[in-house]
Amino acid sequence: MAGAKHPREEVTLILIKPDGVKRGLIGEIIKRIEQRGLKVIAIAMEKASREKIDNHYPKTKDWITRLGHKTLQTYKDYGINAKKELATDDPYKIGLKVREWLLNFMTSEPIVKAAIKGVHAIDMVRKISGATLPYKAELGSIRGDFSVDSPAAANRDKRAIHNLVHASETAEEAAHELSYWFKKEELQDYKRVDED
Ligand code: GDP
Ligand code: MG
């Protein structure tokens, strides 16, 4: 594609969630990203405010309803009565609840934010992170190797799934999240030795 950026110029955002920080997994998580050949171009710890996290996760009806549908599917898979447990079976209302749990979790303790650059950085970091649900995440991924949580357990406790990391899912999400968490001048530019 003429004019398109070289694939190695792609940048994505990762957040190490409070469970990753509290378990002392910051180094392990960053190590896995670096050893794959991706480059850390900014990194910092932050105790995020509720407003900060609220504007980080999408607020669109689509996104919230999708979150609700995922929860309803889990309840169906495990034969749990959604209406009995959450007082509603409306996907949007359930999505709002899960989003609220997520805000509580992400503001409970500090998080680490990092900008990651490299070939197909967005997809690569998602792959290194593993599937959203830890009990389904592949071995060898961060979530697959270090977390045991499930939505059935998390929903029962009325909290977000503890899955160690957040990583941008799409180019649009990455663009929004990078400019949201970092100033442009905070993103560093350097060459790794393996780029020479
Ligand atoms: P991600 O991009 O892999 O982090 O997943 P999503 O964007 O779909 O969801 C955002 C976050 O919400 C996840 O990382 C989980 O922490 C939490 N979450 C997602 N689905 C559920 C669910 O069904 N139940 C609960 N309790 N939390 C969920
Ligand atoms: Mg997501």
User: What is the average pLDDT score of the chain?
Assistant: 95
> pLDDT tens digit string along 32-87?
999 999 999 999 999 999 999 999 999 999 999 999 998 899 889 888 898 988 89
Ligand 1 touching residue 173 (CB < 6 A): no
Asked if residue 132 lies in contact with residue 163, where contact means CB atoms within 8 angstroms, the answer is: yes
Percent of the chain residues past pLDDT 70, beyond the cut: 98
Q: Which residues surround ligand 2, an ion (CB under 5 A)?
A: 169
Edge-to-edge strands, sheet with 11-16: 39-46, 111-117, 11-16, 165-167
pLDDT at 146: 98
pLDDT at 195: 87
Contacts 24+ apart (CB under 8 A), 62-68: 63/95, 64/92, 64/95, 64/96, 64/99, 65/91, 65/92, 65/95, 66/95, 67/94, 67/95, 67/98, 67/99, 68/92, 68/93, 68/94, 68/95, 68/96, 68/98
Evaluate if residue 18 carries a pLDDT over 80.
yes
**pTM for the full predicted model:** 0.95
Ligand 1 touching residue 166 (CB < 6 A): yes
Between CA 142 and CA 123 the distance in angstroms is 14
Q: Kindly identify the ligand whose nearest atom is closest to the C-alpha of 134.
A: 1
> pLDDT tens digit string along 170-182?
999 999 999 999 9
Q: Is 166 among the catalytic positions?
A: yes
pLDDT at 152: 84
Residue 2's pLDDT band (cuts 50, 70, 90): low
Evaluate if residue 3 carries a pLDDT over 70.
no
pLDDT at 74: 86
Mean pLDDT over 136-141 rounds to 96
Residue 4's pLDDT band (cuts 50, 70, 90): confident
Query: Rounded to 5 degrees, what angle do the CA atoms 57, 26, 149 make?
Result: 60
Asked if residue 182 lies in contact with residue 11, where contact means CB atoms within 8 angstroms, the answer is: no
For the chain, the farthest-separated pair of C-alpha atoms sits apart, in whole angstroms, at 60
